[in-house]
Amino acid sequence: MKLFNHLRNLNGTTTHRILRNRFHPLFNNTKFFSDAPFPQQPTTSHVKPPSPPSSLNRNELAKFAAIAESWWDSEGPFKPLHVMNPTRLAFIRSALCRHFKKDPYSAKPLEGLKIVDVGCGGGILSEPLARMGATVTGVDAVEKNIKIARLHADLDPTTSTIEFCCTTAEKLVEEGRKFDAVMALEVIEHVANPSEFCKSLAALTIPDGATVISTINRSMRAYATAIVAAEYILRWLPMGTHEWSSFLTPEELVLILQRAGINVEEMAGFAYNPMTGRWSLSDDISVNFIAMGTKTNNTE
């Protein structure tokens, strides 16, 4: 309730048509005690600034390493991601084109954008982003995933240009890498420290760049559908793929992104139609949802 009241006091602007009314109270300029800047570390030339905490959660990574060979099996454990892909790409294309003032109907709507796909797995998202004209870097903490992603992307000249690396967001930050847009789809629920992870995503984003995150809501409905139904009844995913307690509510995600310097501007839910077996964008964020935020200029 306390968090909810905090969120009601937040303010700002959101551009996503679907959730504008529902989310308006979340976006405002009210400052909280926790927004106060942390005391600065002494930075003399001989004192190395401390490395950010690792985002790696070994148990989670082991789950992905065990099924790495099946990334491109559209009937395998990653079937839900393959089926959702066109819908999440539709959100990304329209949100990025709106933000970067590009034509979503052109053949290469993301041309000219440098995008990093953090937690890229086998490259299910990285490949269509490259086909839409973006210069794509895909990173994943599991080496096997990167090998599969490389092999698959090399099958097509358009995707063979993707840079794949076995690394983490925080390592890229240490290397000083920057991108116009940073993607982390279905990753935050598997990392060790979501707030620190978001800070790394923000640090990788250029000022006024975009950050896109999708995940699963920590709701009872998500427990019933994304865990009980998807893992135990329908067997879409291996049992134990998701820990309900690792999910974030949309309000929590908005807040941790805001603290990292990213203002969430658009958000949508994904709705599954059991009759067609397809997903579509919806205003129902009670289970799967996606958010696009922009980096405020004063957080460099």
Q: Is 206 in the site for ligand SAM (CB under 6 A)?
A: no
Give the shortest CB-111-to-ligand SAM separation in angstroms. 22
**Sign of the alpha-carbon dihedral angle for 218, 219, 224, 225:** negative
- 201 touches ligand SAM (CB under 6 A): no
Nearest approach in angstroms of CB 244 to ligand SAM is 15
Shortest distance (Å) from residue 12 CB to ligand SAM? 27
Residue type (1 letter), 82: H
119 is in an annotated binding site: yes
For 29, 32, 246, 273, 274, the CA distances from 270, given in Å and listed in that order, are 29, 31, 19, 10, 13
Residue 83 is a binding residue for ligand SAM (CB under 6 A): no
| Entry field: residues in the chain | 300
Q: Which stretch binds ligand SAM (CB under 6 A): 41-49, 148-156, 180-188, 232-240?
A: 180-188
* 88 marked among binding-site residues: yes
Site for ligand SAM in 51-80 (CB under 6 A): 55-56, 60-61, 64
DSSP 2: H
Q: Is 44 exposed, middle or buried (0-12, 13-18, 19+ CB in 10 A)?
A: exposed
The yes or no reply on residue 211 touching ligand SAM (CB under 6 A) is no
Q: Is 113 in the site for ligand SAM (CB under 6 A)?
A: no
The answer to whether 162 contacts ligand SAM (rule: CB under 6 A) is: no
Among 26, 113, 116, 141, binds ligand SAM (CB under 6 A): 141
Give the contacts of 277 (CB within 8 A, at least 6 positions apart).
83
Number of residues that bind ligand SAM (CB under 6 A): 22
Q: 219-251: buried (b, 16+ CB within 10 Å) or exposed (e) per residue?
A: beebbebbbeebbeeeebbeeebbeeebbbbbb
- Residue with smallest beta-carbon separation from ligand SAM: 119
Q: Report if residue 168 touches ligand SAM, rule: CB under 6 A.
A: yes
The sign of the torsion formed by the CA atoms of 98, 101, 102, 105 equals positive
Task: Summarize the annotated binding site for S-adenosyl-L-methionine as residue ranges.
Answer: 88, 119, 140, 185
Chain positions contacting ligand SAM, by CB under 6 A = 55-56, 60-61, 64, 81, 118-121, 124-125, 140-142, 145, 168, 185-187, 190-191
> Which residues participate in the annotated binding site?
88, 119, 140, 185-186, 189-190
